[in-house]
Amino acid sequence: MEEKSIAGVNITLNEEGYLTDPEQWNEDVAKEIALEEEIELSDKHFEVLNYLREQFLAGESLSIRKVGNAGIVNIKELYQLFPGGPLKKSSRIAGIPKPASCV
């Protein structure tokens, strides 16, 4: 595990760069992590991130299909918002663990 200061918050990350404590997350942390992924966050990004956090905190499993069926974005839009691994990147930016459906 690694400790890192992101947006003025001391964050603990696992070996893959995911927050180990979702409570350390806030929108400023998300913006900085997104910049590491070369993504500039928009309101639509935050809709997806907040949905992911809500689902994770409710104990729901996440998949690209589930996000696409949530009515926020379709699967194609999800790939456009988070290119190169939409669920992995969006989960990392949302401050939640990598979903089990991601390899």
Active-site amino acid positions? 102
DSSP structural state of residue 19: B
Alpha carbon distance 21, 68 (integer Å): 26
Sign of CA dihedral 67, 73, 74, 78: negative
Q: Tell me how far apart the 2 most distant CA atoms of the chain are, in Å.
A: 36
Alpha carbon distance 72, 66 (integer Å): 11
